[in-house]
Structure 1
Amino acid sequence: MYYFLCHLSLMDLCYTSAVVPRLIRDLAAARKNISYNNCMTQLFTAHLLAGVEICILVSMAFDRYVAIVKPLHYVAIMSRQRCNMLVVLAWAVGFWHSVALLLMVLSLPFCGPNQIDHYLCDVKPLLKLVCKDIHVVSILVTANSGMVVVVIFLVLVVSYILILCNLRTRSSAGRRKALSTCSSHIMVVALFFVPCIYTHVLRAGAENRDKGISVFYTVIAPMLNPLICTLRNMEMNVAMRKVWSQVAHSDLKQIK
């Protein structure tokens, strides 16, 4: 669990670093412009890191499923080699996803004012600047991003339904411990996937509030993930209490 939490925290840090600095710069600057190369770089980086983060959330769900449903086989199933394989697979899927979107966008002809109504160089706002019919391209974007997100979200929902069904046969103490561990992951998944599904499932030409909704999975969710995972984890709470008690004890000694 902590192995995947470490990678999730790293992805949150990298993902927000690809979005937030540019957002802060645009809020402070009079001219909110970005070059074509920088825009394509941000597009590739944001989708790469988001794809990796989604796959890590799936790996975390699989890890919780094995720990709760098959606890006696946990060490054998979730070996370090398999955990490393899941992380490598996450990077491979994220890279494939971002490269496919980037190659599709690079092949499109852009015209017009070259102004996007968004704080992020994402595919949907860029498609509004294309000089040809985007019906087919919009379907491909929805299939690449929207449907993949929906399928992964359904897989996560099914995994937690199976976990909850398995918990009916456990003791009350075991249910509380399992639910305490899973509840943080469920909140993280909901914060990231619900706005992400809303943004990427609608077609590119549809009128929606995707710019405001995108703030949830680009800024708010990565910011809250470490806090949620820390406060909802019993071991982390115990460790934090020990640290604070040691700090308070040392402060009292200094005062005396």
Structure 2
Amino acid sequence: MTAAYEVRGVTCRLGGREIVHGVDLDIHHGEVLALVGPNGAGKSTLLGTLTGDVPVESGEVRLLGRPLAHWSAADLARTRGVLLQANQVSFPFTVREVVEMGRSPWVGRTSAQEDDAAIAEAIDRTDIAHLLDRPFTALSGGEKARASLARVLAQQTDVVLLDEPTAALDLRHQEEVMVVARDLAAAGRAVIVVLHDLSLAAARADRIAMLAGGRMISVGTPSEVLTPERVEEVYGIAVHVLTDTPDGHLIVVPHRGLSDTVSS
């Protein structure tokens, strides 16, 4: 696997407060890397440094071996697709029009047939064909998330960054989104996804990077990172990590007998 991103000693501040401190990380083509950690750990901020939307105070981010600061906006848009937490559109575009926006970086570089094929594939992968003629602003949160993901998929970039793509989705669509992420990695793309569900990260990610307090705590395979001791230390809650599961993926569940805090 070749490196899509190389992150070296990255520190950044927002609102005068240090959010990410001294992070080192390599992200490879052909893998799904999950960023996990408690609220306020710096996951979305670190993702923002990868997209180029959050400025770096010190350290460096390289995309395909080139400093991110040296990329033009147009070249970035053709190389990395980004799904943010907030799926907002200011005007009542239809869902079809929103998905078609994913082809904007390729205007003048691809044929209409190529664009149509990319859009059709994205619609099929995200199960939104029945939504295409509806205004995006009239969708539920989960429907907006799937339509926004379709826009990113239609962009057809080598790197895909997803910030909590499953947060508003039901169980079926959570699994479908992560299967899409796995398919992208199998096709040689680099996929970086911010997740809160540790069991979902364990089931679908090749590697997990755990953050806490803006610092990188651990990077490795799910079994290497998600130990009961580390999860309790980082999240402040006792957990069971179940490894003897039917599908072979570990599951993280609270140790409710130890973590109950409600008193009479």
TM-score by length of 1: 0.26
Which has the larger share of helix? 1
